[in-house]
């Protein structure tokens, strides 16, 4: 009996300490809300923090559109995790392919009238250098460009009070850019060549892009329109993120006792997406459910506008336009011209 009491006390103490240091789990943040009339689109929800956010949002009756690489896997995983499974819908998107993103955009626009929350959460980390089918460094495209393309293309169906949350990372602070790159950012600065590539650098850069995009969107939507936030979930949270290299896997495992649980990691994102306290606010960066300043680089409004222009240029050069109808018209015209030439 003494043993059981001691064990209970130790676990209680441990949990108490963990909650004190790392804050409450996401469920706690949202527990008094009812989001039965809301629709949330989330990327990267088939695993890790995104799956936990999905579980939490469906528990408050939110309808969640899970955009994932493999909707069948997402469906099976979510079935085991989410009590309100009927609140889920599944969309296929491979963020390493702009055509796949375009298809996802089309089916979202066809099937949804309005979206209230968008959580851009998918990311990859620790990959060896690879180019996507669109000729871009994979981390840059998956973590930033494709999701930005997705977001801007569904802008017209965002509800007037919508909230957009970029899952960010404190590691965005570790990026330095030359003066030239700050004034005239070009694709080479963000989509790294093999020579300049390290997976950490590419990841950090992609997170800077996200914070800059949020800054730009805040200005774009300043007077009427959605609110936008960046949320850092926590560091060294043991998820699938470290799966691509055993060294990262070992490091994240070693850090387990000192890092947030997945439930706690989801909390800042859920807070930004749902908290009534944030009504009327926008453009802020959050960590541990508290507002803080992003890095000086990521806080540059000038760079935010340049980054937006760069993203649009890169997409346009590859034949992807923010208006999906324009894109399909152009593709159709090209196709017709090809047929005439043949």
Q: What residues contact 315, with CB distance under 8 A and at least 6 apart?
A: 98, 145, 149, 321, 322
> Smaller CB distance to ligand NAP: residue 122 or 307?
122
SS3 93: coil
Q: How far is the CB of 118 from ligand NAP (least distance, A)?
A: 14
Rounded CA separation 311/94 (Å): 18
Of 42-50, 102-110, 222-230, 276-284, which segment contacts ligand NAP by CB under 6 A?
A: 42-50
Residue 248 CA neighbour count, 13 Å, CB half: 18
Q: Cα angle vertex 212, ends 207, 215, to 5°?
A: 135
Rounded CA separation 315/306 (Å): 14
> Smaller CB distance to ligand NAP: residue 84 or 235?
235
Does position 59 interact with ligand NAP (CB under 6 A)? The reply is: no
Active site residues: 203
Of 87-95, 103-111, 222-230, 271-279, which segment contacts ligand NAP by CB under 6 A?
A: 87-95
Work out which of 10, 15, 34, 70 binds ligand NAP, going by CB under 6 A. Answer: 70
Tokens of 302: 């000038």
Of 91-99, 103-111, 280-288, 292-300, which segment contacts ligand NAP by CB under 6 A?
A: 91-99
Rounded CA separation 180/217 (Å): 24
Rounded CA separation 292/101 (Å): 32
Work out which of 96, 272, 289, 298 binds ligand NAP, going by CB under 6 A. Answer: 96
SS3 80: helix
Does position 102 interact with ligand NAP (CB under 6 A)? The reply is: no
Q: How far is the CB of 94 from ligand NAP (least distance, A)?
A: 5
Which positions from 6 through 35 interact with ligand NAP, judged by CB under 6 A?
none
**Which H or E run includes 160?**
strand 158-167
First to last CA, the chain: 86
Does position 191 interact with ligand NAP (CB under 6 A)? The reply is: no
Which positions from 236 through 295 interact with ligand NAP, judged by CB under 6 A?
236-237, 239-241
Does position 142 interact with ligand NAP (CB under 6 A)? The reply is: yes
Does position 202 interact with ligand NAP (CB under 6 A)? The reply is: no
Q: Work out the number of other CB atoms within 10 angstroms of the CB of residue 81.
A: 13
> Smaller CB distance to ligand NAP: residue 94 or 267?
94
Work out which of 54, 58, 102, 121 binds ligand NAP, going by CB under 6 A. Answer: 121
**HEC assignment per residue over 213-250:** HHHHHHHHCCCCCCEEEEEECCCCCCCHHHCCCHHHHH
Does position 65 interact with ligand NAP (CB under 6 A)? The reply is: no
Does position 185 interact with ligand NAP (CB under 6 A)? The reply is: no
Paired residues of 165 in beta bridges? 119, 229
Measured from each CB, the residue nearest to ligand NAP is: 48
- Cα–Cα separations (whole angstroms), residue 130 to 2, 22, 139, 312, 339: 57, 35, 9, 22, 34
Q: How far is the CB of 285 from ligand NAP (least distance, A)?
A: 13
Q: How far is the CB of 291 from ligand NAP (least distance, A)?
A: 17
Binding residues for ligand NAP, per CB under 6 A? 44, 46-50, 68-70, 93-96, 121-124, 142, 167, 169, 233, 235-237, 239-241
């Amino acid at each position: 009996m003494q043993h059981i009491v001691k064990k209970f006390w130790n676990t209680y103490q441990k949990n108490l300490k963990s909650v004190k240091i790392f804050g409450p789990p996401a469920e706690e943040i949202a527990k008094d809300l009812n989001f039965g009339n809301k629709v949330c689109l989330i990327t990267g929800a088939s695993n890790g923090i995104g799956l936990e956010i999905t579980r939490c949002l469906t528990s408050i009756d939110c309808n969640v559109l899970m955009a994932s690489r493999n909707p069948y896997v997402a469906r099976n995983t979510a079935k085991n995790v989410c009590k309100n499974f009927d609140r889920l819908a599944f969309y296929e998107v491979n963020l390493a392919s702009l055509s796949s993103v375009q298809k996802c955009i089309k089916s979202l626009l066809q099937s949804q009238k309005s979206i209230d929350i968008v959580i851009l959460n998918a990311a990859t980390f620790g990959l060896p250098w690879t180019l996507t089918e669109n000729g871009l460094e994979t981390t840059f495209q998956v973590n930033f460009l494709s999701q930005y393309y997705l977001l801007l293309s569904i802008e017209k169906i965002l509800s007037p009070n919508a909230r957009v949350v970029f899952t960010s990372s404190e590691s965005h602070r570790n990026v330095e850019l030359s003066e030239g790159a700050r004034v005239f950012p070009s694709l080479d600065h963000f989509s790294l060549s093999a020579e300049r590539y390290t997976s950490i650098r590419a990841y950090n850069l992609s997170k800077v892009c996200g914070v800059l995009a949020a800054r730009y969107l805040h200005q774009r939507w300043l007077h009427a329109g959605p609110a936008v936030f960046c949320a850092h979930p926590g560091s060294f949270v043991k998820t699938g993120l470290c799966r691509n290299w055993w060294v990262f896997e070992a490091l994240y495992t070693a850090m387990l006792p000192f890092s947030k649980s997945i439930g706690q990691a989801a909390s800042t994102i859920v807070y930004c997406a749902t908290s009534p306290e944030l009504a009327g606010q926008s453009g802020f960066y959050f960590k541990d459910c508290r507002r803080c300043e992003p890095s000086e680089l990521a806080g540059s409004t000038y760079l935010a506008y340049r980054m937006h222009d760069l993203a649009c240029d890169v997409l346009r050069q590859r034949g992807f336009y923010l208006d999906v109808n324009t894109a399909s018209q152009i593709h159709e015209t090209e196709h017709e011209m090809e047929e005439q030439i043949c």
